[in-house]
A and B are shown apart, each in its own frame.
Chain A
């Protein structure tokens, strides 16, 4: 099982992607949890639910959101650290704050009062571009601090005695290394480890170890590194630099594109194997897409060196687990076989944006929804460093960890997809207006069906016969014209239709008299 909290994105271009630190330790933003289960198949989901709830309580984070089937997935073969019976879930928009650091520190015997945890100063930690906490506990017998000089750095460091034929590494491992022209360490390392030969690079990493127990209150451990000359170096990168982005505009549809660009590593690899004509670079892509981003798998297209190519030419294996609305996300696992001399390659897939009910939107609905990072791995290459160790009894767990062969892996960016929102303030309005329309339909249709027109016409005629005055006559003319119906001429009653009626005059006099009396009595 592995759980990680990460804030920020690992910059593969500057910080490298080939060494064990970036390959197995660089994690996608937010929370990532994966676990391999030993229980029978039908118990796995229940166990996963228990696990998420337990971890959520332990670490004060909302990992319990991962319990619903719509958030976790089951990779089949493209998830490098494990295979079979694995469940993988990630929450890309989970923010990591100091509250999340506290439970980790609680696991240490002295918390943050003593020991290495004293170094974890919260303000400076969280101000950085990238910080990550990962749960993989290794028990060490002693405390040590390690300083790793990357292969790229070692290759860049220049030494005056280069013409002797010694490799640059020898200069740094000799005892009198402070005659080093490039940098200076304030404390002497206790031990120096040199990497065994690596197949992918000419230079070798160097590891300095400092044992902390030699120091005490009177003689504190204060390590510093000063550069004497400016040095710029390139960390070794993954064979292809992977990035992911969204295409298209508007809130109805779009496309996800994964682009793979060759790095300086590829050129070196290519020249090494140039004699072998049929060299192929295998790339595994594992992508999980939430259910409201409805992906059209039949629109998957492959572009190699900016030319659209037939999908079957480059895709060796593909496994697709389509999403079910509100039930499970869409999982795509692809094995690509690209030629070693490839410059750029891209995979595009189109999708439709779904429409959710108002209670399915998060509180800040207009921010958008996240598509978790895709995992691009290169199974042909292994990121591991083997350091020669004299004392095999006191094997350092960190060095054992470095020696583990894990495939080179990189995570792409998290994508933010804006979805259209309905008007959240309108539920009652919509319901009442809609029901009014339905009532209109229901009522008028029933009325028409059961109407007895003859009786109605007789009734209307009788009513119209009593009507006097020009205004109602004009109104009835107007309504008849609007309906396009021929107006039947009305028979005017025998009594005169003159304006001035004696009854009317009497009424007016009566009302005026009442008003005068009222005024007189109550003035």
Chain B
């Protein structure tokens, strides 16, 4: 019976994967990719396809690709994806090759999510066994979090829109997921590569170094170490094998070495391609400097653009520092409280970055919504889940309407669009806060089961 259930489950998983790929291909064949690449929710100054094409044209004309304040991405991406922007196949849609690359990136990310999810689930079951809680918790009801997470990622409308809208988000997401997969499966060179590339493409995944360190040091998500000690005190069994290992520094040094190697390699490649045009300093100024100083005030689904359009010149630097410190400040408290659950910590970091970054897009939301699927078992008791779901649906429907009213019809003004962006930010805050609360509650329930007192 179990085997049949598993077979049915895995069969419909592959069904769903193929259906989502076919759906993406159908959307690609619509004229001009349904104009999705011109939507501000999809393409920001960092992920826009048109800017990539412009950067490539400037590069081909022997000018610095950062010359027109147009392109703000990595020169490596320009060399890899640039030729795809101009290549045309007769009779096929204009940007077919680039769209195919995005689809492949999505599929690879989904497979990696599935593998990591299976890893996490096995680790969870093992830790429950060692805590002797297998009889008390109904394990057969555990959902296959890996499959669910992969399907959420593939079938999420946000992911589909980001893929068909020709943004570079699928590739950035793939780098982040590669890093987490490598760290979970103890493939240290792969994790280092993913981390270096993710940081190089967009600055914010740099804070994922902390979950990666915890993953490599302690292993995947597990209940707090204190519970294991208490259980062993109760049982008085000296079977040390069942205790999870303590923090080990070996893999971390290994990781540091590989990260250093990969970053030197990437910087050398960038330096070579930008030798005549100002070198690495120009690159850092145009990419990281642009992200940190929020120069471009085009509307997007975040909240920083309107703020920096309205704030007075005198306070601009102060508020820039405040907003970026908001992300940095939360790193320490979260890592202290959630150090036994590094993958969940990574999810929270990714969610906070997607919320507070300078130029968010729906591609970033797609990433953390996919990662949310890994924790369906732990987050089963999360409050406000229906409210959040309806909120996301409502915002994604209202936001294009408000944008149209403001820009194309002229009957609305910027406040309409900004309000939907703020509601979206509030929804994300509620998701993060309730998620953390639910996981801590889950740990507390385990503690009650073991020790009998809250």
* Contact across chains for A437 and B454 when beta carbons are under 8 A apart: no
Q: Are A322 and B432 in contact (CB under 8 A)?
A: no
Pairwise interchain contact A298-B334, C-beta atoms closer than 8 A: no
Asked if B308 CB lies within 8 Å of chain A CBs, one says yes
Contact with A along B283-325 (1 / 0, CB 8 A): 0000000000001111100010111111111000000001100
Which chain B positions have C-beta within 8 A of A213?
A: none
Q: Does A252 contact B (CB under 8 A)?
A: yes
Q: Which of B56, B312, B408 contacts A249 (CB 8 A)?
A: B408
| A294 partner, pick from B68, B311, B322, beta carbons under 8 A | B68
* Chain A interface mostly: mixed
- Considering the chains assembled together, what is the distance between the CA atoms of A441 and B383 in angstroms? 17
A297-B58, A320-B61, A322-B63 as given contacts; A454 in contact with B410, CB under 8 Å: no
**Minimum Cβ distance to chain B for residue A252 (Å):** 5
Indicate if the CB atoms of A357 and B309 lie closer than 8 Å.
Answer: yes
A residues 256-273 with Cβ under 8 Å of B? none
B440 within 8 A of A: yes
Q: Choose, from A193-201, A203-211, A444-452, the stretch at the interface.
A: A444-452
Near A by CB (< 8 A), chain B positions 79-116 give none
A406-430 Cβ-contact flags toward B at 8 Å (1 or 0): 0000000000000011110011001
Contacts of A450 in B (CB 8 A): 333, 337
Evaluate contact between A355 and B326: CB separation under 8 angstroms. Answer: no
Contact A298 B53 (CB under 8 A): yes
Knowing A298-B56, A330-B68, A355-B299, the reply to whether A457 touches B454 (Cβ < 8 A) is yes
Question: In the complex, which residue of chain B has the Cβ closest to the Cβ of A457?
Answer: B454
Interface size class of A (residues with CB under 8 A): 35 or more
Task: Determine whether the beta carbon of B308 is less than 8 Å from that of A357.
Answer: yes
- Which of B22-30, B126-134, B221-229, B418-426 lies at the interface? B418-426
Q: In the complex, what residue of chain B is closest to A420 when comparing beta carbons? A: B407
CA–CA, A444 to B422, complex, Å? 17
Report yes or no: A431 in contact with B58, Cβ–Cβ below 8 A: no
Please judge, given known A-B contacts A296-B54, A324-B69, A437-B426, whether A453 and B441 are in contact too, CB under 8 Å: yes
- A444 near B433 with CB under 8 A, answer yes
Chain B residues within an 8 Å CB radius of A330: 68
Residues of A within 8 A of B440 (CB): 448-449, 451, 453
Give every chain A residue within 8 A of B322 (Cβ-Cβ): 438
Q: Are B308 and A448 in contact (CB under 8 A)?
A: no
Query: What interface size band does chain B fall in?
Result: 35 or more
Residue in A252, A320, A324 whose CB lies within 8 Å of B63:
A320
Contacts of B248 in A (CB 8 A): none
Write the B385-423 contact mask toward A (1 if CB under 8 angstroms, else 0).
100000000000000000000111010011100100010
Say how far A327's CB is from chain B's closest CB, in angstroms. 8
Instruction: Report if A224 contacts B (CB, 8 A).
Output: no
* Cβ 8 A contact of A444, one of B333, B406, B429: B429
A250: CB under 8 A from chain B?
yes
Which residues of the partner chain A approach B307 to less than 8 Å between Cβ atoms? Answer: 430-431, 434
Instruction: Tell me the bound Cα distance from A415 to B444 in angstroms.
Output: 67
Kindly supply a per-residue 1/0 record for chain B positions 45-87, scoring 1 wherever the CB is within 8 Å of any chain A CB and 0 otherwise: 0000010011011100101000111100000000000000000
Of listed B306, B310, B323, B426, residue having the most chain A CB within 10 A: B310
Judge whether A141 is part of the interface by a CB distance below 8 angstroms.
Answer: no
A445 near B408 (CB under 8 angstroms)? no
Residue pair B69, A325 in contact (C-beta under 8 Å): yes
Q: Are B330 and A445 in contact (CB under 8 A)?
A: yes
Residues of A within 8 A of B68 (CB): 294-295, 297, 322-324, 330
Chain A residues, CB < 8 A from B69: 291, 294, 322-325
Interface contact B436-A445, CB-CB below 8 Å = yes
Instruction: Find chain B residues with CB under 8 A from A324 CB.
Output: 67-69
Known A437-B303, A440-B429: A427·B311 in contact at CB below 8 Å? yes
Please give the distance in Å from B150's CB to the nearest CB on chain A.
Answer: 27
The answer to whether the Cβ of A509 comes within 8 Å of any Cβ in the partner chain is no
Min distance, Cβ A302 to any Cβ of chain B, angstroms? 15
Q: Which of B361-384 contact A (CB under 8 A)?
A: 383-384
Cβ–Cβ contact A322 & B70, under 8 A: yes
Please tell me if B230 contacts chain A, counting CB pairs below 8 Å. no
Cβ-closest chain B residue relative to A325: B69
Our pick among B70, B309, B312 for the contact of A355 (Cβ within 8 Å) is B309
Query: Given the interface contacts A430-B306, A485-B383, does A355 sit within 8 Å of B298 by beta carbon?
Result: yes
Task: Please indicate the chain B residues that have their CB under 8 angstroms from the CB of A485 in the complex.
Answer: 383
Question: Closest approach, in angstroms, between the C-beta of B59 and any C-beta of chain A?
Answer: 11
Instruction: Tell me, yes or no, whether B10 is within 8 Å of chain A by CB.
Output: no
Nearest CB to that of A441 among chain B residues?
B429
Q: Does B156 contact A (CB under 8 A)?
A: no
Judge whether A228 is part of the interface by a CB distance below 8 angstroms: no
* B199 interface residue (CB < 8 Å to A): no
| Residue in chain B with minimal CB distance to A431 | B311
Contact between B54 and A297, CB atoms less than 8 A apart: yes
A251 and B313 in contact, given A320-B63, A485-B383 (Cβ under 8 angstroms): no
Q: A359-B313, A423-B415, A441-B429 known; A294 and B422 CB under 8 Å?
A: no
A249→B408 CA distance, assembly (Å) = 7
Q: Is B429 touching A437 in the complex (CB atoms < 8 A)? A: yes
Kindly provide the distance from the CB of A325 to the nearest chain B CB, expressed in whole angstroms: 4
Inter-chain CA distance A182–B426, complex, in Å, is 82
Q: Across the two chains, which residue of chain B brings its CB closest to A428?
A: B310
Q: Bound complex: CA of A352 vs CA of B40, how far in Å?
A: 12
**Residue from the set B58, B311, B433 with the largest chain A CB neighbour count within 10 Å:** B433
Does A358 touch B at the CB level, under 8 Å?
A: yes
- Tell me the complex Cα distance, A10–B408, Å: 34
| A484 interfacial by beta-carbon distance below 8 Å | yes
* Most chain B CB inside 10 Å of its own CB: which residue of A448, A453, A454: A448
Instruction: Evaluate contact between A438 and B56: CB separation under 8 angstroms.
Output: no
Given A250-B407, A358-B309, A430-B310 in contact, is the A422-B414 Cβ separation under 8 Å?
A: yes
A228-254 CB mask vs B (1 if < 8 Å, else 0) is 000000000000000000000111110
Distance (whole angstroms) from the CB of B205 to the closest CB of chain A:
20
**A426 to B307 CA separation, bound complex (whole angstroms):** 10
Q: Is the CB of A448 within 8 A of B437?
A: yes
- Does the CB pair A420–B406 fall under 8 Å? yes
Say yes or no for B185: interface residue by CB 8 A criterion. no
With A251-B410, A420-B414, A426-B415: A297-B437 Cβ-Cβ less than 8 Å: no
Contact of A440 among B299, B418, B426 (CB under 8 A): B426
Q: What are 13 A-B contacts defined by CB distance under 8 Å?
A: A251-B407, A296-B54, A324-B69, A359-B312, A420-B407, A422-B310, A431-B311, A434-B303, A442-B330, A444-B433, A445-B333, A450-B333, A484-B384
Residues of A within 8 A of B (CB): 249-253, 291, 294-298, 320, 322-325, 330, 352, 354-359, 420-423, 426-427, 430-431, 433-434, 437-438, 440-442, 444-446, 448-451, 453-454, 457, 483-485
Known contacts A421-B414, A437-B422; 7 additional CB pairs below 8 A are A320-B63, A322-B58, A357-B309, A359-B312, A453-B440, A484-B383, A484-B385
A-B pairs, 6 with minimum CB distance: A322-B68, A298-B57, A355-B297, A454-B454, A427-B310, A325-B69
